[in-house]
Amino acid sequence: MTERDALLAAVCAAPDDDLPRLVFADWCDENGAADRAEFIRVQIELEKGVKGKKLTALRKREQELLTGYGAEWASDLKEFDCAVEDRWYTFRRGFVDEISTSYDQLHGRRGDKLFHRAPIRALRLPDEEDFSDLARCKHLLRVHTLNLTYSGLSRNFDFMMLPYSKYVANLTSLIARGIDDNGHLDGEGLQAIATSPHLTALRHLDISNNWLFNVRTHYERDRIIRHLLALGDLPALTDLRLGHIEAPPDLILSLAEQPWLRRLKVLDLSGNRVANEGARALTESPHLTQIEQLDLRNLGLIDLETGADLRLSPEVKQLLKQRFGERVLLDE
């Protein structure tokens, strides 16, 4: 093992620690890779939350270095690429942090090789259609973010097995957005997320754009509502995205009554059938005390079930502004 390999191994072994990254940067300076060293330090500095002119200067330099060298610095991972629109990797704190790939690249020795090439903490798996295998992948314990957009999320692909896997215990962010006619999240998958004993660290959940209420019976509809309300059992959840799931007004009314809303900082209800009654319930809810962003844009205009007008009245919009100020996002 070369000195560079040993230093990279130290970075991968402690992905949340800046010190091994800075040691790697020092080695780069001493071995003719000053641009690489600068990039690592720039991104680490950006993570500290700098502001003003310093932020502008660092962002500009970051982009210059990425444009000039990003593809070269990510080239060691190209063999694991399963690119979506050519955006198959993301750098963070100087190293590739997120990669778009597939289960075939994650299991066995192949997975060992991947996670020794970079301190991967986020995975995009855009084409998964067999979650029974993914649920048994030990390397999921290495990541905090799992993005399954473009994958099959319905019972036909065994998605419900994933939330019950012990290997998702370190996830802080799960993105399972529905896309076009892909297999959308259904009642079984939603129930698995809500009742998982392993998603105790999950803070961010995005299940937007799933046709959750495209069901045939009132029983199925009520069951979906129960599972959505049960998401409050996820103890660390603070960011919940439910945009464009065809949610009916009675879900919004029930949601406004849930004490677990006190933990939420972000609630996305955009593109749903909120109506004046639901919006008013949100303004009156005693539980939305920590909210930093409430998204009520692109709401339905007409309830296709009843023909009722769903547009928010000027009065209700004013109530929302009085309660939440700039924290509520509304259409003009």
What is the domain-level CATH number for residue 296?
3.80.10.10
Contact between 205 and 231 under an 8 Å Cβ cutoff? The reply is yes
What is the DSSP-derived secondary structure letter of residue 39? Answer: H
Range of the domain at 267: 77-329
In a domain, 133, yes or no: yes
Q: Which residue has the tokens 């409430």?
A: 294
Q: What is the dihedral of CA 41, 24, 140, 112, to 10 degrees?
A: 150
pLDDT per position in the chain (332 positions), as tens? 799 999 999 999 999 999 999 999 999 999 999 999 999 999 999 999 889 999 999 999 999 999 999 989 998 888 886 554 456 889 999 999 999 988 888 888 888 999 999 999 999 998 888 899 999 999 999 999 999 998 989 888 899 999 999 999 999 999 999 987 777 899 999 999 999 999 999 999 999 999 999 888 889 999 999 999 999 999 999 999 999 998 988 999 999 999 999 999 999 999 998 989 999 999 999 999 999 999 999 987 666 666 666 789 999 999 999 999 999 999 87
In a domain, 164, yes or no: yes
Angle at CA of residue 188, ends 184 and 191, nearest 5°: 110
In a domain, 188, yes or no: yes
In a domain, 228, yes or no: yes
In a domain, 47, yes or no: no
In a domain, 160, yes or no: yes
Number of domains in the chain: 1
249 phi-psi bin (left φ>0, alpha ψ -120 to 50, beta other): alpha
Structure-token pair, residue 16: 């949340």
The SS3 call for residue 295 is strand
Number of Cβ within 10 Å of residue 303's Cβ equals: 14
| DSSP-assigned letters across all residues of 98-116 | EEE--GGGTSHHHHHHHHH
Rounded Cα distance, 155 and 160, in Å: 7
- Name every residue whose Cβ is closer than 8 Å to that of residue 316 and which is 6 or more positions away in sequence: 276, 279, 280, 283
In a domain, 51, yes or no: no
Sign of dihedral through CA atoms 36, 42, 45, 49? negative
In a domain, 250, yes or no: yes
Rounded Cα distance, 327 and 241, in Å: 15
